[in-house]
Amino acid sequence: MNKVQLSVLGLSLSESTSNAYALILSDETSQKRIPIIIGSAEAQAIAIELESLKPPRPLTHDLLKNITLSFDIHLTEVNIYKLEEGIFFSNLVFENGSKKMVIDSRTSDAVALALRFKCPIFTTRDIVEKAGVFLKFDSKKEDPDAIEDFNPDADEDDFEKDSPIVSVQSKTIAELETMLQQAIQNEEYELASRVKEELNRRNKDNL
């Protein structure tokens, strides 16, 4: 896999999906941003770590970290290795001495754990080209609602796929190009990513 390291820029409230957030990842070599839609529970877990806050009781990701470290198991890297039909697929690479274990994970959970273990996040150049867009994002303006408005009763299954929920298949290429420019202008990160992926798919089919 041609690895590209990503950094976590922050979170933005989703404009098109209720009770969801856009997780913004950045490829520093190309300055492209990859927006991924996640649920409020995962957004809170990520926001708390980004803000270096300490909850009174450990959250799920903190608990998993404590358990694995107690058995001398360390998370060494996260890989976002596939993008299929708008869904990002990720895995966790754990090591225990000379033993290496690769475990499938939702991308939102993988990022939350990567922040806690302070391990690198990688993807492929192909995914950056497919899902990455040039967006202005000010991490200082990160949406505080990810922490303040967290609903502990939210159903995580509603956001199981970590993907944009946008229908673009019926649009023409001209309409998609217009949608892409409008989405970027309006900072609708997840829509811009989904539209760009659809444009890439159609351009590939026309080759």
pLDDT per position as a tens digit, 91-101: 999 999 999 99
Four-point Cα dihedral 17, 23, 28, 29, nearest 10: -50
Given this model, what pLDDT does residue 199 score? 85
Confidence class of residue 153 from pLDDT cuts 50, 70 and 90? very low
- Overall number of domains in the chain: 1
Q: What domain range includes position 136?
A: 3-205
Per-position DSSP letters for 112-163, written without gaps between them: HHHHHHT--EEEEHHHHHHH-B-----GGG--THHHHT--TT--GGGGTT--
Here the CATH number for the domain that contains residue 174 is 3.10.690.10
- What pLDDT is stored for residue 198 in this prediction? 82
> What's the chain's average pLDDT?
81
